[in-house]
Structure 1
Amino acid sequence: MLKEITKIEILKMPNFPFDADEKAVSLSFLFRLVMQKKGLFISITMVFVVLSVVTAWVLPNIYRSKVVMIPTSVLDGTKGGNVGGGLASLIGSSSLQQDHRTTLAISTLKSRLFLRNFINKYNLMPVLYPNEWGEKGKEIPPLRRHIMLQHAVDQLNELRKVSLDIETGNVSMSVEWTDPVLAKDWVEAFIYEVNRKMQNDSVRREEKHILFLQEKIAETKVPEVRNSLSILLKDSMKTLMLASSGDEYAFHILDPAEIAAEPVKPKRKIIVLTGGMLGVFGALLFIYMNFLYSDPRK
């Protein structure tokens, strides 16, 4: 049975509380001190463990739905043949050529205006803020509604991740949410909306371009200039035809999103294990500091 130690006895020990070689707190000393205060040590550790278990249990399950795509500019042979260029510039790589359509699509996905319109179109405020919005959304003052919408844009931006595979040029996008069905629906909606917006913008742009070229051709009398304008008009009409021919204007889906079967967060075992380790270190620190600052006559 270990002999109970007092502070006066320990203070008289040689080299207390350090080892001569390591200059660190002696493990044997800590062991004897913990055994003397084992009730307190176990209590503090258990508090941390219980708190970590409660935290791990209370945290909601987070599910991830992911889609893998390839830029359609690669499929239809448009300029900027190296698919990763524009995307790579967004993640800090300049080794690839620029793909303007893909860069614009990714920039659109990341833009606050696109996210704000997405939230309004799909009525996500009651989903993102069920307690504050809910049925009382109409009663919220305009300024407060605007502030909450800005926070919702930031939150949705954190939930949605876009990444590029440099080797294959594939683009991946994922959404994390507490409802696996909603996560899948949002991923699909993001792709649909960015393709639709890019397509509509391109069609409007080319229609204006064609109208402008037709007017200039009608006004121009110089044959060489008319020929040059006709070539430009032909290219614009080809671009308009391609833009109007399909729904996958910016991205073609390779691996569609699925409903996640298992959550990706929280890592409950890691949370509990971390809580237990913090409890052990916290108990050791508390017992040691309590010993150092306690009355040596006790």
Structure 2
Amino acid sequence: MTQAMQTKSVEPKIPSLSYPAGDDEIDLAELFRALWQGRWWILGCGFLCTAIAVAIALWLPNTYGAEAKLAPSSEQQGGGLSALAGQLGGLASLAGINLGGGGIDKVGLAIEVAKSRQFVAGFIQRHQLAVPLMATLGANKLGDKVRIDPDLYDEQTRTWVRKVDPPKQPKPSDWEMYKAFSQLMTAEQDKKSGLVTIGIEYYAPEVAKQWVDWLVADLNEVMKQKDIDETQRNIAYLKVQLEKTSVADMQTVFYKLIEEQTKTLMLAEVNQEYVFKTLDPAVVPEEKAKPKRALIVVLGGILGGMLGVMLVLLRHALRRQKAQALVGAISEA
């Protein structure tokens, strides 16, 4: 018994660590008091940011969206030799010719062409859209005429006067116009229905509608011309190969291929809606698409209130830190 007590008495005692209570805890009541005391800061920041948001919302010009709904044309599989593989595969194999398999997705190809730099640059050049695209401040109150920025383009002398840093030139490059136009244009396909939507957002509603019409027409024309050129090259190649062979079976295949290619060429030349058929044409929009002024003002007020809360809490934390430092200094003294 005595030995157990002695053993127990010599065991080292582990000192308990104690921390000042409440230093690392959040006092909600104190925070609420700080927020209430700084309520005028919060209201002031909210009012200021709301006023700035109202100014920005009123400064932003209206933009109008026009769009057209398109369906793939029945001839969208058109023109190349690969499109004839299903019809003439047996004869081609007999003649020892590989036509290849699988049709080309002309709709997907046309959408990518519409988004390409080459097509956009050509579209802007054909319709002379550089000035309304790159030097516009907005539209007039009626929305039927755009206002040109005189600091960018001189309408009297028809010259670009914008000030830019080298290597840029006063006249916008094709790359600059491509980026600006890409922000206005949308070209998307619905995966379920297969329908394609081509749209333009611009300051003047009539101009937006006109650009959509031009886009659809030019896209059909460009895709048609690509297939016409390809078909003509195919016919020329087949005629050359026909003259080189004396095998009757191969001659039969070549004649059939030339016949089918000639039919494709004729259909392409007479068909105006080569890739896309217009289901719902673009109309002049009567309601603006942007800006959402009410949303801008509401978000400005919310952000202003949040900024005010952050400033009040930061000021409270700094005051508390200074008070603790002062108490510590007095205690040490």
Superposition TM-score tier, normalisation by shorter sequence:
0.7 to 0.9
Residue equivalent to 2:305: 280
Give 4+ residue runs of structure 1 displaced > 4 Å after superposition.
74-80, 138-143
Per-residue CA deviation, residues 73-106 of structure 1 (Å, 9 max, x unaligned), is: 46889959xxxxxxxxxxxxxxxx8643223312
Are 1:72 and 2:73 matched, yes or no? yes
User: 1:235 and 1:108 mapped to 2: Cα distance?
Assistant: 26
The residue aligned with 1:249 is 274
Q: Which residue of 2 aligns with 1:133?
A: 153
Shift of 1:138: 5.5
Structure 2: stretches of 5+ with no match in the other structure: 1-20, 85-101, 136-148, 327-333
Q: What letter corresponds to residue 137 of structure 1 in structure 2?
A: T
| Aligned mates of 1:218, 1:75 — CA distance in 2 | 31
Equivalent residue letter for 1:291:
H
1:76 and 1:207 mapped to 2: Cα distance? 17
Task: Decide whether the 8 Å contact of 1:126 with 1:134 is kept in 2.
Answer: no
Show CA shifts across 1:217-240 (max 9, x none).
Answer: 344333222111101101111110
Given the superposition, is the C-alpha separation of residues 284 and 170 from structure 1 closer, same or farther in structure 2, using an over 3 Å criterion? same
Matched with 1:37 is 38
Of all paired residues, the percent bearing the same amino acid is 26
From the superposition, tell whether residues 70 and 217 of structure 1 become closer, same or farther in structure 2 (CA, over 3 Å): same
Partner of 2:117: 112
TM-score by length of 1: 0.78
Structure index of larger Rg: 2
2:50 matches 1:55: no
The residue that corresponds to 2:251 in the other structure is: 226
Distance in structure 1 (CA, Å) of the matches to 2:78 and 2:230: 20
Shift of 1:291: 2.4
Whether the aligned pair in 1 keeps the contact of 2:117 and 2:178 (CA below 8 Å) is yes
Q: Please tell me whether the aligned partners of residues 49 and 279 of structure 1 are also in contact (alpha carbons under 8 angstroms).
A: yes
SS in 2 for 1:144: coil
Matching residue of 2:141 = none
Measured in 1, the distance between the counterparts of 2:46 and 2:160 equals 48
Conserved 8 A contact 2:184-2:201: yes
1:142-195 CA distance string (max 9 Å, x none)? 951576431110121121111111221111111111211111111111111011
The gaps in structure 1 that reach 5 residues or longer are: 1-13, 19-23, 81-96
Code of the aligned partner of 1:228: V
- CA drift of 1:16 comes to 7.0
Report how far residue 48 of structure 1 moved: 0.9
CA distance in 2, matches of 1:221, 1:243: 32
Q: Is the 8 A contact 1:165 1:171 kept in 2?
A: yes
Q: Under a length normalisation based on structure 2, what TM-score does the superposition of the two structures give?
A: 0.70
Q: How many residues align?
A: 262
